[in-house]
Structures are given as C-alpha cells and as structure tokens.
Structure 1
Amino acid sequence: MKKFLLLYLIVFAASCAQMAVPTGGDKDVVPPQLVNDHCYPKNGSVNVNTKEIRLEFDEYVKLNDPRSKIFFSPALSTSPDYILRGKTLFIHFNGDLQANTTYTMHMGSAVVDITEGNPAAGLNYVFSTGPVLDSLQVNGKVINALNRNPEKGVMLALYELNQDSAFFKGLPSYLSFSDAQGNFSISHVKSGDYLLYALKESNGNYRYDASGEEAGFFADTIHLNGGLSLGNIEISLIKERREKLFVQKREFFEPGILNLIFSRPYNGVPELFSMNADRQPTAVRNFIKHDDSLQISFSDPLVQSLIVRIEEDSAHVFTDTIMLLRDEKKREKSLQQPLIYRNNFTPYLDIKQDLQLKFDVPCDIIGNDFQLLIDSVRVQAEIEKVDEKTILIHPVQRLAPGSRGILLVGTNLVKDVFGRSISADTLRFKVRNEDYYGALYLDFKLENHPNGILQLINDKGQIRTQWNNPPSTILEFPLLAPGNYKLRYIIDTDGNGEWSPGSVTDRILPEQVILFNQEISIRSNWDLELEWK
C-alpha cells in the first residue's frame, strides 16, 4: 500500500510539474554591465602594466565580431585577441601600450547578452599606463544640416592635427557616439590640438569611405591645454555629393522599366544604347532624367543589355553596361493589365488647382477622350502634357469653391510606350470650400542676405511656398491647408537658388539654415499673424 501511494504521489507531482511550466516574465532589455570588483585591472585604474585585461560582466554574454566592433582610443598598433569564457572576456594585447597614456575601450555592439542580444553599446572601459587619467573633454551636439533635427548614433571622432587625411584613411585618436538628443561627450582626452569630424557609419570600419555615408566637421582646430575642456560645439551632418559618378542602385520593374539611381546629381544629357540578341546597338529615346536618377522604358522584349554614357565635361565621362535579366512570363502578364495612374483630386480638389493624372511610365496623349462635369453641367477643359508621366486637365473657367465635379475618362485618352491604355473610369470629387483653409501673415524682419531663401515647410517636409530674396515686409501665405508648418531661412551663399550641402572632403561648410523658433499651427478659417526678427 505504501509503495502504491508513493508511486501515485510521484505521478501526481510529475503531472503538476508539467502543468506549471513557467510562461516567462518581461522581456530583458537591460544591456550587460561590468562587475568592476572582478575586473583586472579595475575600470579607471592607473599605472597599468599588463599584456592582458580581464572584464567580467553581470550576465552571460557572447561576442559579435569584436575585431572590427571593439575600438580602443588611442588606436592600438596591433589588433588584440579576444577570448570569452562564460561571463568573462579576456583581451590579450599583441603589441606594447604607449607610456603615460589613457586608453578608452569602446565596446559598441561587440558584446551582447545571450538571451535577447542587448548590446553593451554605451559601456566604456578606461585605464592609464601612467599615474593619472587624462581628464579633458569635448562636448557638443550633432544635427542634420538642413532640418536641424538631432542625429542619434553618430560617431564623433578626434584626430591629432598631424594626422593628414586620417578621417578618410586612418583611425581616430578618440571617439564617442551621440545620444537620442544628438548630444555627445568625448572624454579622457590628453592636451593637444585636434580636428573633429562626425560620421554616420554604414560599414563599421570607422572611416569615411563609403558612398552615401553622412558626415560633418568642425571648422576650427580644437586646442586642449591644461585643464581647458571644450563644450557647446555644434556639427552639421550632410550627405556629400561625392565626386565619382556611378550607379548606386538598379531597380527593374515589369513590363520594361529600369530605374538607375546614381551616386550624386549629374549634369549632361545621357546617351543610351540597347543591345539585343543580334548585338546591334539601338539608340534608346524613352527615358526620363532626374537630378540623380534615370528612368528608362524598353518596349523591345529582346533587349539584353544597356549601355549608358554621360559626359558632364571632357574630364568626367561616365560609361557603364547594364545587364537586363527579365522574366518574360511576368512581362506578358503585366502587359495585359490596364495602365495605372494616380490623381490629385479625389475626393477633394484644392482651390486654384488643375486636375492631374500621374502615371508610372512615360505616356502620350492620343485623344480628348474625357468629359468634365461640374454640378451636373459639362464644362470646357483643355488637356496638357507637362512631363513624360504627367498630364493636366485645365477647366477653362475657375471652379467655384464647394462645387461637385465628375471626370469621365475613356480608353482613348492616353497610351504608354508599351501600347497600354487606361480603363474607362468615373472620378468624382468636390472643390474645397474657402473656409477649409487658413492663412499666415508673416512680418519678416530677419536680417536679410542678398541671396536669402525663405521656405514654408509642411509636416511632410515638403516646400509649400518659397520666397527668393524676401522683402522686409509683411508676407502673405494664403490658402494653407490646416496642419503644422515650419519656416526655414537659407543663406544662399553661392546664389544658386537652393541649399548647398558643402563638402566634408574639401572642408566646405554647408550653407547656414535658420529655423523659426516655433512650430506654426494653421487652422481652418483662421488667420495667423507672426513676427520673425
């Protein structure tokens, strides 16, 4: 009986254990931390003379490419070896450390916990081979040069003044990273003269060498002497227009649309030649040039490659051959579909706007196969092709606010380069009432620049209105849709009518941007008066 009872209790306990499987708690979001008492030498130690350091963490961790992601400042002459045993990281130096030097180890994302992969990104380990820790600092903020928003996760790097071209070829002497507010602090710096750069890394090598990387620089030499640290530095981040022109990205869309995105804006008219299976070059005429991209349409299904030639001047000639890998079944299916377009007037058409039809591929007007009805009465309208992919329908008379309209489009209105037409459709809309809009009256008293540009920006970052060389008077911004706006003033130093980003390579600062000190809220049927001085 006792044996039976014991067996029953064991089975019952096992059953209970199976039913009570833990469901887990909150997700671990805390990164690994150093247990300083178990580190050798301890964080912040001086007079360090060792070939190996030992760092113990408060949880089990794993390494993620430590040779490229762990960085010592000043940089080590030879990369160390990294060995992980449980919670302890052993770092063996393969070269001699400099005498009387403060070293800071930046762990980046090289050390992560084993449960959720949280990186010890903000964790630094500092020691000195001399009797004191260097204590000088460089503090500041990094922002986007055009919209002046703070930039997070940007590398701020100090280079000794004698490190020629180090930002492009070498490693920084000291570095840090900006926080969510764009603030940064480079600490434990020794006395000396430095250059300061900022870099939004894309390939993890701590160098400004990849196309598309955003960067910036502080124009003045930084002098750190004795107990003098430097603060309140502001660095503007830009995406530089790199000198070399190349195809950065290729996008192929059926039935035969190729988008080429270049490394920078380019000048000159492209020359395009297609090559079919017979290797006979044929000039391509159906293309649309943008500032930094090119859209090409191929109506010939046998085209296998494309030769692109762009001559900006005698010294800058770009040539490339693009291979076209096409899915013929997908192409045929796409050609059987009607032409797709977008419009700017359903369900509402803004006052004083024309009706716009925008296509994804180049199109031609083949007839006046449309009717425009306003409040059930047919009205006269003209059709115009404004670019390769956009047509406008202009009512001859201004449409009354609040009126209701119908646009009837037929299949013989437009045809694209592949011979496709649109489907017949009925598009209903209403012209907005005047009381939907608000207005801004700006008393502009800002000190004007000979080539100043004043811009009103909506909450999507789009330029709603622009004044070149605005007068110092009251400026009116009528018929503004309700929403939030910003005012931006650009000091157009080079007088080209737009903001110029400058050049990190040539150490040319971006053109100065001044933002109005408050966001502007426009309400329907409301006039807002502001002063900017």
Structure 2
Amino acid sequence: MNLVQQKFTGILLVLLSFSCAQVVAPTGGEKDSSPPEIIEAQPPIGQSNFTEKSFSIEFDEFIKLRNLNKQLLVSPPLKHELKSRIKGKSLVVDIEDTLKANTTYVINFGSAIVDITEQNPVEDFKYIFSTGEAVDSLSISGNILDAFDLEPQEGFNVQLYRGNAFDSLPIQSLPDYVGKTDKDGNFSITNIGKGTYVIFALQDGNDNYLFDRPDEAIAFASEVLSIGSTKTDIELFAFAEDNQKQFVEKVSTNGPLLIVQFKKAWQNPVGFQPLSKNGPELKHFEYGLQKDSLLIWWSQNTDQEFALIVSIGEDFKDTLSFELDSLPKGQKLKVDDKFNETYPYFRSVPIAFNFPLDLTAVDEDKMTLTRLDGKAISFSTQIGPPNTQTLRLDFKRKEDSTYKLTILPGAVTDVYGRTTDTISTEIAFDKAADYGRLIVKLDTTVASNRILQLTDANGKVLREDFTSSLTTTFEHLRPGQYGLKIVFDENQNFTWDSGRFLERQQAEKCIILKQKIDIRANWDKEIDWIIAE
C-alpha cells in the first residue's frame, strides 16, 4: 500500500468512528430542591435599638423576588413602601419611613424570595428588629370563619390596635400590629408587646388597612384583648354590613310585561304610579318570591314608550322609562309544564301557564279528571301558590297511580281574556316508599329563638322550622345527602341578620352540623344534636 492509500484509509477510519458514535446529552446531578439559606443579615435579625435606613440579607446562592407585592406583610404597617433590590446573592431593603420609637417591627416576605434556578422559596421568612431596648416576644393566633356559612376566610388582614376604645379606630387609624389569614382562615401575629388591644379583621379592598368601603367584609372581637402571654384560640366571624342602599338593578320587558329587579329585598310595601294618564291600562301585578322584583302586565296593545314612578315606603323613589310591545295577534294561553315528571303523592299538582290567570275565570266544568279505566274523579282548583301563573289541581289520589286530565278551551283564561287549546295529558304520582324521613332531636339550653334549617349537600336551604321545638321531623325527603344548620334569630325576624361594627353588633350566630346526613328511601333517620352554649 502506498503512502496516499495509507493516509486515505486513516481518514476513512476516523470518519467511520465519528459516524458510528451515539450522541448522548450530558447528564446533570439531582434536581435542586433546597431553598436558599441565609449566610448573614446586616444588621442581624433580632437587632434592638435599630436606627438604620436599610438592611441586607445574604444567601448562599443567587436569588430573585417573586410576587413580592402580594407576599410582603409589614407589622406595624408603614406609610411608605419598602424599596427592595437584588445585589448579587443579597437582598437589600431600604426603609423610607420614620420608624416608631420602642416598637418591634416584623417584615414578613412570605415565600417571595426564591432561587433563580428552580424557584425554591424561602418559606415564611421574617426580618425582625426593634427600635427599643428589646424585641417583643408575645404572639396570638386563631382563625376567621364566615359568620353565615362558617367557611374559612382567606386573605383577611387581622389588625391590632393598642388601647380599649373601639370607636372608629379601623376607619381612621393604621393598626399597631397586623397579620393575614391563610387558605384555611388561620392567622398568627408574632412579636407583640404586653398590653390591651382591640382586634379587628378586614377584607381590605384597597390595601390601605382602613375600613373605608361599604363592601369590605369585617370581623371583630366584642371585648378588648388583654395580652400578657401567648394566645392561640381566637375565633372571629366575618360579615359584610348590610348598609347598601336600595336601587333598581335592572329593568326588562317581554311584550306587555315589565320586570323591575331591585338590588335587595324590601321591607316596606312597593308602590308604583304611571306618569301619564294616557298610558296603557294596568292588567295585573305581583311581587317576586324573594320580594326583590316587581312584575307588571299592561294592556294588550302597548306599542309605546312609558314612564313610571316606583317607590318603597318613604326611603326609595325612582323614575323608570321603558318601551312595551303588544301581544302577537292570535296568540293563545299556553301551558309551560311538559307533564313528564312524576308528582309527589302528598301534594296538589301545579300546572304552570305562561301568563297570569284571571282569578274569576276558572271553569271546572270544562275540565275532566279520570282514572285510566275512565272512572271520573272529583277535584278542586285554586290559583297559586307560588304565583298567579300557576293553577293547582287537588283531589284524593292514590300512591303509585296515574290519572288522565283534560282541559278544554275556556276552562282557564288569562288576564288578557285568552284561553288554551285542548290539553290532554296523564299525571303520575310516586309512593311513600320513595321517600325517607329525618327526625332531629336537639339537646340544648340555648334560647328558643332559633331557626332550624334543612339544607342540601351544598348548603342551599330547603326547609325551615321556626317553632323552636326540641324535636323536628322533616317528612318526604328524597334519597340523598342533607345538612342541618341553626340560625340564632336574636331579633326574631325569621331571617339571618348581619352585624354593624360601630354599634358593636355581631352578625347573628350560626352553627352547622359537621357531618352530612344520608337519607335512604323508606327509612327513618334520627339525629341527636347537642348544642353547647
């Protein structure tokens, strides 16, 4: 082999070796899961006689700040925000406020300090110092629940004020100490000085530590808090004050129907007065079930703009302008029900129509009710409840049975004089064995002005007992999960009432049975509920 051949062969072997080699990504070590560690703080954490305008924290690796505005909590609050910056592996914080004398400050960074590679946070890191001779060491902790549904309240400021005067402190003054509730409603405030305090909690809508918005939920202790040692059992109940003014939230029309939706339910009677004597004729009106809406049906031919004054007692008055439409010509009264459900055997049958019925124009002679074998059944009717669009049919019925109903034209007439086409349908009923029953026995010496509520699994109220009896039976319950709740109705107005801070009035107390209740068909369930003071 000559020299040229040897060189060529050598080059070829090298190329072949490269082409046969596998490309493998370099392997690293284990993923870093450790948070940054503090090397040094200047001045040291826990420094007394603090007079500096800044402090720095050095870590063992490079760091960054994440969501500092949401995480940072300074107690007591400062008028000017802290200025934070990263310098190498250090966090430097500048203080622009004039600090209070003889005061312990806690600057809680939460989990805002993280390493730059894996975002591992330094959890609940606090820089603490005192402008006095010593760092205060007392603390309090507790939790905040919603006063109505007892759900934990996250993100509340828990604020302490020195002294024993409730007055308007949370409205006008910044707190002396502050903490914040977590997702479970728990809070703690550390490094508190010995003394007497007012404790107040605030769902701070504008981040200024002041109760200055009507929609901000609050909580407070009725008595002053004397702190001489650590306290761990503080429980507060949050509520929003019912101080929102009444107003018309929405006005809508559907043909000749005007619907006025109010912001909240009313206590006083609602009145209305047309502004023009030449407006459409009033045919019918009624109130919504929750007493927060007004429904008015006007005359059939109403293609025009119209104005109306609506008032509630002496407290509210408003002028509404709207445009009504006429009813389509030839349109008949219709039944909204599809009659495809099985009706409860223990109730009259509700037949829903699409317009209010004429209370004086029900002709039972044009209605027939028979068994499936054709035998006639006597019956009675009435309009409502829940409204005048409902005709209720009542008769002696058997469980697990089916009947045939026929409604001829002219049997029912609406307020516009219209009637239906012939309606022919079957009505089926269930049986007692389809239901369960719940017997609730209360063991309590608490005052009798209470409301016992039966709720579904999600807390929606299904039934209420206002009798204050120690034994209550809830009949005819569909199989499923239920809950129990008690409202202590202090003012005996048959509803839950919120509180007011300036009057030192707490929201009415509620208690909820912790476990859900399983109801089975054709079974009785008995619950013994001990209610403590």
Q: TM-score, normalised by structure 2?
A: 0.72
Retained in 1: the 8 A contact 2:77–2:178?
A: no
SS, match of residue 171 in structure 2: helix
1:270 and 2:273 are equivalent in the alignment: no
Q: How has the CA–CA distance of structure 1 residues 441 and 308 changed in structure 2, closer, same or farther, with 3 Å as cutoff?
A: closer
Retained in 1: the 8 A contact 2:64–2:113?
A: no
Match of residue 223 from structure 2: 220
1: distance between equivalents of 2:348 and 2:445?
37
Query: How big is the shift at 1:238?
Result: 2.4
Match of residue 239 from structure 1: 240
SS, match of residue 363 in structure 1: coil
Query: How big is the shift at 1:391?
Result: 1.2
2: distance between equivalents of 1:41 and 1:426?
88
Retained in 1: the 8 A contact 2:35–2:121?
A: no
Query: How big is the shift at 1:219?
Result: 0.9
Query: How big is the shift at 1:181?
Result: 3.1
1:522 and 2:519 are equivalent in the alignment: yes
1: distance between equivalents of 2:185 and 2:285?
45
Give per-residue Cα distances to partners, 1:89-142, cap 9 Å, x unaligned: 765333211233222335689999999999999665544334543222222222
1: distance between equivalents of 2:367 and 2:114?
63
Retained in 1: the 8 A contact 2:142–2:235?
A: yes
Q: How has the CA–CA distance of structure 1 residues 507 and 323 changed in structure 2, closer, same or farther, with 3 Å as cutoff?
A: farther
SS, match of residue 357 in structure 2: strand
Query: How big is the shift at 1:234?
Result: 1.6
Retained in 2: the 8 A contact 1:344–1:355?
A: no
Match of residue 140 from structure 1: 142
Retained in 1: the 8 A contact 2:439–2:474?
A: yes
Unpaired segments ≥5 residues, structure 1: 21-29
1: distance between equivalents of 2:203 and 2:329?
43
Could you tell me which amino acid in structure 1 is paired with residue 266 of structure 2?
Y
Indicate which of 147, 150, 153 corresponds to 2:152: 150
2: distance between equivalents of 1:87 and 1:390?
74
SS, match of residue 402 in structure 1: coil
Indicate which of 197, 200, 203 corresponds to 2:200: 197
SS, match of residue 239 in structure 2: strand
2: distance between equivalents of 1:302 and 1:42?
78
Match of residue 346 from structure 2: 352
Retained in 1: the 8 A contact 2:179–2:188?
A: yes
Unpaired segments ≥5 residues, structure 2: 1-7, 26-32
Could you tell me which amino acid in structure 1 is paired with residue 445 of structure 2?
E
Give per-residue Cα distances to partners, 1:137-196, cap 9 Å, x unaligned: 222222232333333333322222357412233333322233333322222222222112
Higher radius of gyration, 1 or 2: 2
Retained in 1: the 8 A contact 2:348–2:395?
A: no
Query: How big is the shift at 1:384?
Result: 1.0
2: distance between equivalents of 1:87 and 1:428?
80
Query: How big is the shift at 1:53?
Result: 4.4
Match of residue 24 from structure 1: none
Query: How big is the shift at 1:434?
Result: 1.3
Query: How big is the shift at 1:222?
Result: 0.4
Q: How has the CA–CA distance of structure 1 residues 122 and 358 changed in structure 2, closer, same or farther, with 3 Å as cutoff?
A: farther
SS, match of residue 453 in structure 1: strand
Match of residue 129 from structure 1: 131
Match of residue 444 from structure 2: 446
Indicate which of 102, 105, 114 corresponds to 2:104: 102
Query: How big is the shift at 1:350?
Result: 2.0
Retained in 1: the 8 A contact 2:75–2:179?
A: no
Could you tell me which amino acid in structure 2 is paired with residue 347 of structure 1?
E
Retained in 1: the 8 A contact 2:35–2:114?
A: no
Match of residue 475 from structure 2: 478
Query: How big is the shift at 1:223?
Result: 0.9
Deviates more, 1:80-89 or 1:459-468: 80-89
What count of residue pairs does the alignment treat as equivalent? 497
Match of residue 25 from structure 1: none
Retained in 1: the 8 A contact 2:72–2:107?
A: yes
Give per-residue Cα distances to partners, 1:285-308, cap 9 Å, x unaligned: 746366673345576564476644
Q: Give identity over the alignment, percent.
A: 24
2: distance between equivalents of 1:456 and 1:409?
37
Q: How has the CA–CA distance of structure 1 residues 108 and 448 changed in structure 2, closer, same or farther, with 3 Å as cutoff?
A: same
Match of residue 496 from structure 2: 499
Could you tell me which amino acid in structure 2 is paired with residue 441 of structure 1?
I
Query: How big is the shift at 1:41?
Result: 5.2
Q: How has the CA–CA distance of structure 1 residues 48 and 383 changed in structure 2, closer, same or farther, with 3 Å as cutoff?
A: same
Q: How has the CA–CA distance of structure 1 residues 459 and 91 changed in structure 2, closer, same or farther, with 3 Å as cutoff?
A: same
2: distance between equivalents of 1:422 and 1:87?
82
Match of residue 5 from structure 2: none
1:46-61 aligned at under 5 Å gives the runs: 46-53=48-55, 60-61=64-65
Match of residue 404 from structure 1: 402
Match of residue 180 from structure 1: 183
Q: TM-score, normalised by structure 1?
A: 0.72
